[in-house]
Structure 1
Amino acid sequence: MIQLNIRREGQGPVVVLSHALGCDLHMWDFVAALLARTNTVLRYDHRNHGGSPVVAGALTMETLAQDAAALIEREAGGAPVHFVGLSMGGMTAQALAVLRPDLLASVVIANSSAHYPDQAPWQAREAAVRAQGIAAIAPGAVARWLTPEYAATPEGAARAKALHDTLVATDPEGYIASCNAVAAIDFRKSNRRIARPTLVIAGTRDEATPLAMSEAMVAAIPGARLGQIEAAHLSAVERPAEFVQLLQGFHAAL
C-alpha cells in the first residue's frame, strides 16, 4: 500500500478528513483549525493529489477506500474514527463504510453523490484535459466550487486562487484516472448496507452535486440524517464554521 501524505493536528477523538477531486489536504485548512480544538484531526492527500504519490494506471473508488483504511490502521491503530469526506472524499466514505465498517465510528458524506447517470460531462472533461491540460478546465471548476459572492470577497478570492493553483499543479494523468473513478461510481445498492451513523451534508447552491443527490443518499442509507449549508460545492471551504457546527452536533448526538 502506498504512503499517503498526511497531516495530524490536535488531541481527542480522531476525525479523518478526505478531500475533493483536484484538491488536497489544504482544502480543509479552516475546518481542521476549528476541529483540532477538541479532536485529533487526520487529513491526507489522495493518491495522484498533493504530496501523495502519483500511481500509474486505472483507479476505482474501492482503491481509494483501501488507501483510507490503511491510513486509519496505521495512524489511528485501527480504532474506529469519525470519517468525513467531501465530493470524491464522500465517495471514498461510501465505499469505506461497506468495505471496512469496523474502522468507522461515524460517516459524513458532504457535497457528494452515489451515482452519475450522465457520463457525457465527465467524458468532455477528460477530453479537455487530454487536449489542453488541466489549466483549461480549472476556471470552470473553481467557479462551481464557490459561490460568486464568496469568491468576490478578499478571503474568497484568496481561497479561489489557492484552489485553482492546486488543481493546475495536479498530475494530468493522475487527475484523469481519479476523474474516471468518480464518474464510474454506483453506490445505490451498497449504500443500503451502510450500518454506521451517517450524516449527509448538502450545499443548497451546489450545482456539481445538487441537493437531490444528497436526498437520494439519505433515502438509501439506514438512519442517515441530512444537513444543509447555503454554499456551493466546497461547503467546507466556503462555510467552515457552519460545517464544523454540523459535524460537532452530529458527533455529540451519537
Structure 2
Amino acid sequence: MPALHSIIEGQGPVIVLSHALGCDLHMWDEVAALLKDRYTVVRYDQRGHGRSPAGEAAFGMQDLAQDAADLIERLGRGPVHFAGVSMGGMTAQALAARHPGAVRSITIANSAARYDEAARQGWQARIDTVRAQGVAAIADGALQRWLSADFIARHPERVAQMRAALVQLAPEPYARACAAVAGIALHKTNPSIRCPALVLGGTLDAATPLAMSEEIAAGIPGAELAPIEAAHISCVEQPAVFAQLLDGFIQRA
C-alpha cells in the first residue's frame, strides 16, 4: 500500500488517532484540538477513506493493522499511544496483538471484537446495497447510528460535514471496508495483548452496544473499562469527555 494521508500537530508524546468506517481524519478535529497542546497528535485516513488510496484488492482487519504499523514506523518516534473508534478500535486491537512493539497503549472506543451470524448478514446486506446503489443509499441510516438524535438536532453543520465525508467514498472501497469489519475475530487474539488498554463504551450506542465493549475489556488482560454518554461516534458527540478520559489513561499508563 502507498503511504496513507495523515496530519501531524502539536508536540509531546505521540498519539495516533484512527477513525471509524465511513469517516475520515476530520472525525477527530475537536479531540485533536484539545490534545495538541501536550501531545503530538497524528490523525490519518484509513485506506479507501478521505485522501488515502484504496488499493486494488480486498483486505481484512489485519491489513488495516499493518497500515497502522507502517504509519507508526514511518513516524520514527518509537511506540505510540493508539486510539480508535469503531473500525479504528478494531484496528487498535489487531495492531496491539500483531505488532506489540508499535504501541505503548491502546484506547478502543465504541467497537467490537466479533460479530454473530445475524450481524454478519446485516453487513452483507449493506455491502450489497452500496455496490448496487452507492454509498449515499446508506448515508442517512449511518448518521442515525453514529450520533444521537439530540446531537443531530443541535449540530447540523457538523452532521453535514460527516455526511459529506461519507457520501464521497467510492462504493467498492467502502464495501471492502465493511467486509473487513464484518469478518473480525479479535476475541481470539485479544488475550495476547500486553500493553495498557482502555475500552470506552457508549451508553447510547446502538451500533456497538456497551456489552460489546464489556466483552473487549474482559478479553484483554488488565484492560480498563469506562462508559461515555454518547452514541456510536463518541469522540464527535463528547469530545471534551473523550479527550479527558484518553489523557487521564495515558498519564496512568
Q: TM-score, normalised by structure 2?
A: 0.98
In structure 2, give the amino acid aligned to 1:12. Answer: G
Mapping of 1:144-223 within 5 angstroms? 144-153=145-154, 156-223=155-222
Mapping of 1:54-93 within 5 angstroms? 54-75=54-75, 77=76, 79-93=78-92
- Classify the secondary structure of the residue corresponding to 1:63: helix
Structure 2 partner of 1:134: 135
Instruction: Give deviations 1:39-88, integer Å, cap 9, x for gaps.
Output: 0000000110000012122111111111100100111x150100001100
CA distance in 1 between counterparts of 2:220 and 2:140 reads 34
CA distance in 1 between counterparts of 2:57 and 2:103 reads 29
- Classify the secondary structure of the residue corresponding to 1:58: coil
Matching of residue 6 in structure 1 with residue 14 in structure 2: no
TM-fit CA distance, 1:188: 1.1
- Classify the secondary structure of the residue corresponding to 1:226: strand
Superposition RMSD in Å: 0.8
CA distance in 2 between counterparts of 1:88 and 1:127 reads 19
- Classify the secondary structure of the residue corresponding to 2:186: coil
TM-fit CA distance, 1:211: 0.2
CA distance in 1 between counterparts of 2:68 and 2:40 reads 16
Instruction: Give deviations 1:135-191, integer Å, cap 9, x for gaps.
Output: 1100000011010011111xx211111111110001110000011000000111200
1:144 and 1:207 in contact (8 A); partners too: yes
CA distance in 2 between counterparts of 1:61 and 1:188 reads 13
Instruction: Give deviations 1:167-223, integer Å, cap 9, x for gaps.
Output: 000111000001100000011120011100000001100000000000001111000
In structure 1, give the amino acid aligned to 2:244. Answer: Q
Q: Which runs of 5+ in 2 are unaligned?
A: none
User: How many residue pairs get matched?
Assistant: 251
Structure 1 partner of 2:43: 43
Structure 2 partner of 1:108: 107
In structure 2, give the amino acid aligned to 1:22. Answer: G
In structure 2, give the amino acid aligned to 1:106. Answer: S
In structure 1, give the amino acid aligned to 2:51. Answer: G
Matching of residue 28 in structure 1 with residue 28 in structure 2: yes
- Classify the secondary structure of the residue corresponding to 1:116: coil
CA distance in 2 between counterparts of 1:209 and 1:215 reads 11
Off by >4 Å, runs of 4+ in structure 1: none
Mean Cα displacement is larger for which, 156-165 or 235-244? 156-165
2:14 and 2:77 in contact (8 A); partners too: no
Q: TM-score, normalised by structure 1?
A: 0.97
Mean Cα displacement is larger for which, 105-114 or 116-125? 116-125
- Classify the secondary structure of the residue corresponding to 1:151: helix
